[in-house]
Amino acid sequence: MKFDAPATTNPIDQLKVVGQPVDRIDGPLKTTGTARYAYERHDAVPNAAYGYVVGSAIAKGRIKSIDVAAAKAALGVLAIVTAENAGKLEKGRLNTAKLLGGPEIQHYHQAIAVVVAETFEQARDAGQMLRVDYDREQGSFDLRGGMDTAKPAGITAGPPDTAVGNFGSAFAAAPVQLDETYTTPDESHAMMEPHASTAAWDGDKLTIWTSNQMIAWGVGEVAKTLNMPKENVRLISPFVGGGFGAKLFVRSDAILAALGARAAGRPVKVTLQRALVINNTTHRPATIQRIRIGTTRDGKITAVGHESWSGDLTGGKPDGAVSQTRMLYAGADRMTATRLAALDLPESNAMRAPGEATGMMALEIAMDEMAERLGMDPIEFRILNDTQVVPDVASKPPSQDPQAINNREAQSPSKDKPFSQRQLVQCFRTGAERFGWDKRIAQPGQVRDGRWLVGIGVASAFRNNQLTKSAARVRLETDGTVTVETDMTDIGTGSYTIIGQTAAEMMGVPLQKVAVRLGDSSFPISSGSGGQWGGNNSTAGVYAACVKLREMVAQKLGFNSAEAAFSDGEVRAGNRAVPLADAARDGSLSAEDAIEYGDLDKKFQQSTFGAHFVEVVVDAATAEIRVRRMLAVCAAGRILNPKTARSQVIGAMTMGVGAALMEELVVDKRVGFFVNHDLASYEVPVHADIPHQDMIFLDETDPMSSPMKAKGVAELGICGVAAAVANAVYNATGVRVRDYPVTLDKLIAKLPAVG
C-alpha cells in the first residue's frame, strides 16, 4: 500500500481497540518467566555448548601471538576460534570495527577469540588461559585533544554543516548574546539483557536465536560477515530485554556463536559479559558542543549557532547533536557544524534518540541561560521563538532500504517546510499549569525546605518522526482468529500489543482473538525497532496487510469491500451480516502487504514535541542532587496504547535523569578504555532516584504520518530531560553546570557555607 496522500477516515478511527490502554499481551509470558530470550532457548536448542568471548587487553596495536595450548587442553573445551582459524570474515556494513579482531586490534575488548566448552564455567576459565602477546601502539583517546584535527562528517539526519543568512554578523550585532560550551560524556545503553545469541548450523544453513532490534538488517550483516547467501541465514528474536540502540546491529555474540558452532560441530550460545557490553559493543559518544545565541532585547532570536564535536573510530559517524537546532526555534541567521575526531575508543553509535538526546542536553541549558540574561521566563522565551516552519535544513526522511542506512547522501535544503503538527506551545502551557510553574522563583537559590535547596526547571522535548517501509502478513484462521506475522521486534516497548490492537480493530475482532508473532526473519520485513520509528511504521504495515485481507474476506463472502464493515466478529453491509470466520471455512486466508511512503514527509516536516518539567532538591551541605518530581507533556500523534506509550515515556524520563545526574563512561585516556565497565560503577537510576513521574499526552492525530496517524514517542521522552534537571539544579543553587553529568563535586565548592 502506498501512502502518498494525507490519511482520511479509516477503520482505525473507530478506536475500539486502538488507542485503548490495554495491558501488554506478552505481559503474562514475561511475568511468569515463560518468554524465552536468546540465551534461554533450551526448547529449540537443547544441546548448546557455551561460548565465552575473550576481549583484547589493549586498545590499539597488533597481536603478535596467541598461545591457545593451555586453553585447548582444559577440561570440557570443544573449540577455540580466533582470527587465525576463523576463515575469511568481512566487516558488516553497519559495523565500524571488525567483530573478531586480530592480528590488528582496533579497540579495547575487541573480541579476539571465542572459547567453546561444555559448560559456561569451563569456557570462561579456559578463556582466561589464553596467553596473548601484543604489540601496543599509542592511540588517540581524548576528544578534546582531537578537536583541532576533527573533520566535517555527515549525520544520519543530514549534512554536517548548514548555514542560513549570515550568522557571524548577525550574532556580532545581537544586543544580547550567549556563547557557551557544553559537554556530554560517553554513555552505555546499559539495557538489562546483555547481547546474547544461540547459533545452530544445519548443513550450510544457519539459524541464530538472538537479541536484536532489526531482523532484516541483521540477516544481511550476518550473511555479509560470514560470506554466505542471505537465504541461508535465519534470525529469530521474539523477545529482547532492552536495546536502546545497542541491538540495532549484529555484534560479536552472534558472529562468534556462529563461528563457534561451526568449529565445535554443535550449537553454541554466547552472551557478552557486562564489561564487554560496554567496551566491546557500541555506546553513545561524548560530545563537546559550542552554542551561540543572539537575540534582540525583547528576546527574539536573531542568530543561532551550534557546533558539535564527537569522536569515533576511523570510518565511523559523529553524534548528530546539532540536528534539532536546525528545526526547533526561529531565527533568521543560523549555522550548524558537525566535526568528527578519529579516536581509538570502542565504536560509537546510536543510543536512544541519537543526536537530539545529546543536542538537547546542551541547547536547552543554553536556552535557560539566555532566558535568564534576558530576564524572561524560560517558557515565554521559548514560546516567543516558536516557529511553524523549518528555519534551516531539516532532516532527511530515512531511506526505504534499511540496508542503505549508512549511505544516506546529504539532502537538499528544506527550509520553510511546514511541520505536519507542532504543539510545542500547547505542551508548555498544559505542563506549566499542571506542574505549578507559576510558583517558580526565577532568582536561583531562594527556596529552602529543611536541609534541601529546591529548584524547578523546564526544557523542550523534540525528536523527529521517521517513515520507513514495513510489511506484515495477516491470516484469518479457520476458527475465526487472526494471526499477524512480521519480523518486527518488541524490545520491551509494546509492539506485540499495538500490532495486536491494530489487527483487532481492522478485522473487527477482540484483541484476545489475535495472535501476534514477531522477530523471525522468515516473516515479512518490517521497519524493526529503532529511532522511535517502530510503532507507527510497523502498525501501518499491519494496517496495509489487513486492508488486503479485508478485501479477500469481502470477496469470499460476497460483499462489496468498500461497503463492508468489520466489527464484533462479523462482516456487515446493509442488512446482511456474516460471521468473519465463515470466510475461512474452506481454509485460512492470508494477505501480505507493506506500507510504503510517498513524499508527504518531504512536504511536511514530521516531528514530535514535548515539554519536560522537573523539581530537584540539592542537599545544602553535601550537594547531593535528588529529583523530587517530573512531568512530561508530549504531542506525538495518535497514541496507539496510552499505557505502553506512558511506560516508554517514563522510562525515557528515567534514562534522562541518569544522563543528567550520573551516567558517564569514564575514559582512561592513557590506556584507551571505559574504566567503569560494570553496573556497580556505571550508575543508572534506581527506584529511590525516581520518586514521582507524571505525564500527559496531548490529543493529536497526524494524517501525514500514516493511516495510523501516529508518530514515535519513545525517544521524545528522553530529549530535554537532562537539561530540565540541570536547569532545576541551577534554579535551586545558582550554580550553572555545563558538563554532564551534574554531580555533587561540580557544585559543592560553590554552595554557601554550612550551619
User: By the criterion CB under 8 A, which residues form the site for another protein?
Assistant: 57-58, 75, 121, 124-125, 128, 275, 451, 619-624, 626, 661-662, 666, 668, 670-671, 675-678, 680-681, 683, 685-689, 741, 743-745, 748-749, 751, 754-755
CB 742 within 8 A of CB 725: yes
Please report, to the nearest 10 degrees, the dihedral formed by the alpha carbons of residues 599, 601, 603, 606 taken in order: 170
User: Could you give the 3-state DSSP secondary structure of residue 704?
Assistant: coil
- Distances in whole angstroms, Cα of residue 86 to Cα of each of 68, 70, 622: 14, 19, 54
CA-closest candidate to residue 728, choices 619, 614, 637:
614
Least Å distance, CB 686 to another protein, is 5
The residues, any chain, with a CB within 8 Å of residue 706's CB and separated by 6 or more, are 3, 7, 467, 536, 537, 539, 540, 543, 595, 597
CB 483 within 8 A of CB 515: yes
Give how far the C-alpha of residue 683 lies from the chain's centroid of Cα atoms, to the nearest Å. Answer: 19
The answer to whether residue 715 is catalytic is yes
Q: Is the dihedral of CA 614, 685, 655, 710 positive or negative?
A: negative
- With left for phi above 0 and alpha for psi between -120 and 50, is residue 325 left, alpha or beta? alpha
Nearer to another protein, 572 or 626 (CB): 626
CB 4 within 8 A of CB 601: no
Least Å distance, CB 662 to another protein, is 5
Out of 221, 369, 663, 715, pick the active-site residue: 715
Distance CA 184, CA 584 (A): 57
Give how far the C-alpha of residue 539 lies from the chain's centroid of Cα atoms, to the nearest Å. Answer: 18
User: Could you give the 3-state DSSP secondary structure of residue 222?
Assistant: helix
Least Å distance, CB 267 to another protein, is 24
Least Å distance, CB 129 to another protein, is 10
Least Å distance, CB 345 to another protein, is 14
Nearer to another protein, 350 or 623 (CB): 623
Least Å distance, CB 196 to another protein, is 17
Nearer to another protein, 29 or 666 (CB): 666
CB 496 within 8 A of CB 467: no
Nearer to another protein, 17 or 617 (CB): 617
- C-alpha cell, 479: 476458527
Nearer to another protein, 56 or 212 (CB): 56
Nearer to another protein, 191 or 472 (CB): 191
User: Could you give the 3-state DSSP secondary structure of residue 349?
Assistant: coil
Least Å distance, CB 41 to another protein, is 24
Nearer to another protein, 582 or 683 (CB): 683
CA-closest candidate to residue 185, choices 686, 676, 751:
676
Task: Give the helix, strand, coil percentages of the chain, each rounded to 5.
Answer: 30, 25, 45
Q: Which residues are catalytic?
A: 715
